[in-house]
Structure 1
């Protein structure tokens, strides 16, 4: 780590004409300066292990879920700095509507604060994220490939911290991330649907308002995405995993006071709620009609459950079957 480099990058973000509310180059520099990159010296067996995990997850998910999809062309085993670089681009895309519209009284000072805040977020996440499926929401062109990332040093560290078998833990993470690729691959409309609600919400925020409906719709859709992923991974994973889930959940609830505060500020508790609520919905659907029947949610946007249906799956089944 190089904390001096990190602080200097944030401090210098206020130099110049202050164009743009965030200095994204400085965000990347500062986040990486505050984060140990971790090792990425993979053995041949480890590289083949990642490849086999993704390949096996794809085949199992196709079979169990009855889905027609393929994994992204871009599959990377990364260190923490690689992940930060990839997600600077992601955050930059998502924040663009707010950056270009919001006016502030002290642009240079605001730029320093915003740059430092984003660097802190990316440094924290870069040290904790295990894997990521990136659907490239709000990307400039349709020809950009979605990404599937595994943050190797975080996976190794988490397996050691949880005292679980590393290859088994790595495989479990791979299954989880490939389920997201399965969802977006089976529903070509899903990225556009999420983008439209995200854009509506951000544009209203940029104008000083709050589009409650847009963010509510986004929350419901992401609850379906996370819940279906939980169902499919649970049914498709080819080994016992109850201990992995219990230990990882305990780890997420624990940590230092600063870690717990960061999780609350970043809304990671909301994501856990989405997992649990969505998983409960799809477990009920699968128990009544089978796992393949749950895939009807990806046939068209209208098949997404409503907020009320998430708590009463029978209503969704009756509507989709009609």
Structure 2
């Protein structure tokens, strides 16, 4: 790691945007060990076979005809940072269009670039796998992407004292379930984008569009919960021990890491996972997996905030 090079990149932030994205990427990589991509014999084929088998299993369970992205990458941490710069720039660009420049744009740019550096470095050291639906992409037909951050997967498996191949397979299945969701619901990307844009536009006007943020939260809760539902049925091994150990590892981190997770909304994601999982477990207990899959028939079938906490209300509505 090179703290001096990172600080110099942030201090040299320039341009007309709120964030100097290249400087943020350079600074984040300067303080992040890229990790090894020296794959063991057959490891590359292991990733490929995990994705293929996950696709076949999830297709069979869900009845959804979908494919995995053309882009399936085994990355180190620097690769992940480079791949996600464009994603962050798209999302922040929507906000930048709505927010006027302040009185000291140069100072604000440096602060914003430093903040993005910290975020990218933290996530780059912690993300295991990622299904990227490329929200807010300029080309709506641009392929989605599937990433595996190999050094993080290996480190997590070692620290959790679990079999590395089994842990990798579990991550692959989880990410492929997200691919299934967006394959089942071609409208989902547009729905999420519209909620994001409405919320950002309201913030720029000094107001809070609670309805948009609640709908976005509900949709993401469904995304997380349905993925766990498919995992329960598709993964060919019991994985509660993996989930329990990973959750314990997150809870056991130091106060600074816990603060980062809170600031980045990762606690919210955990809540979405738990709430969504409970919702779909109740639906399946009262009906079946086919009924649960009706959430993807259209945005009108997404549960409301009230229905997420009372799944029988949602069942009654979609059964009409």
2-structure distance, mates of 1:295, 1:66 = 9
Q: Is residue 149 from structure 1 mapped to residue 144 from structure 2 by the alignment?
A: no
List aligned pairs for 1:220-239, cutoff 5 A. Answer: 220-239=218-237
SS at match of 2:73: strand
Does structure 2 retain, via aligned residues, the 8 Å contact 1:20–1:100? no
Task: Give, in whole Å, the separation in 1 of the partners of 2:208 and 2:30.
Answer: 35
Deviation of 1:243 after TM superposition, in Å, equals 0.9
User: Is 1:274 equivalent to 2:297 in the alignment?
Assistant: no
For residues 234 and 220 of structure 2, the distance between their equivalents in structure 1, rounded to whole angstroms, comes to 21
In structure 2, what is the equivalent of residue 105 of structure 1?
103
1:314 aligns with 2:312: yes
User: Which residue in 2 is equivalent to 1:302?
Assistant: 300
Task: Tell me how far 1:290 sits from its aligned partner.
Answer: 1.8
The separation in 2 between residues aligned to 1:307 and 1:316, in whole angstroms, is: 10
Matches within 5 A, 1:1-322: 1-13=1-13, 15=14, 18-102=15-99, 103-322=101-320
TM-score, scaled to structure 1: 0.97
* Contact 1:309–1:316 (CA under 8 A) maintained in structure 2: yes
Separation in structure 2 between the aligned mates of residue 211 and residue 288 of structure 1, nearest angstrom: 34
| SS across alignment from 2:148 | strand
Post-superposition Cα deviations, 1:143-191, rounded to whole Å, max 9, x if no partner, equal 2110011000000000000000000000000111001000001100000
Given that residues 67 and 295 in structure 1 are in contact (C-alpha distance below 8 angstroms), is that contact kept between their aligned partners in structure 2? Answer: no
Structure 1 residues without counterparts, runs of 5 or longer: none
User: Where do 5+ consecutive residues of structure 2 fail to align?
Assistant: none
Runs of 4+ in 1 over 3 A off after TM superposition: none
CA RMSD of aligned residues (A): 1.1
Deviations along 1:49-89, one digit per CA (max 9) or x if unpaired, are: 00111111111111112212111111111100111011111
Q: Secondary structure at the match of 1:76?
A: strand
Secondary structure in 1 matching 2:74: strand
1:10 Cα shift? Answer: 0.3
**Which shifted more, 283-292 or 110-119?**
283-292
Secondary structure of 2:12's aligned partner: helix
- What is the CA–CA distance in structure 2 between the aligned matches of 1:239 and 1:173, rounded to whole Å? 13
- 1:178-231: per-residue Cα shift (whole Å, max 9, x none)? 010000011000000000000111122223332211111100110011111111
CA distance in 2, matches of 1:85, 1:189: 28
Task: List per-residue Cα deviations over 1:271-321 (Å, max 9, x = no partner).
Answer: 000000000000111122222321111011111011111111111111111
The CA deviation at 1:44 is 4.2
Between the two proteins, the alignment pairs up a number of residues equal to: 319
Contact 1:77-1:152 at 8 Å conserved across structures: yes
Range 58-67 or range 191-200, more displaced: 58-67
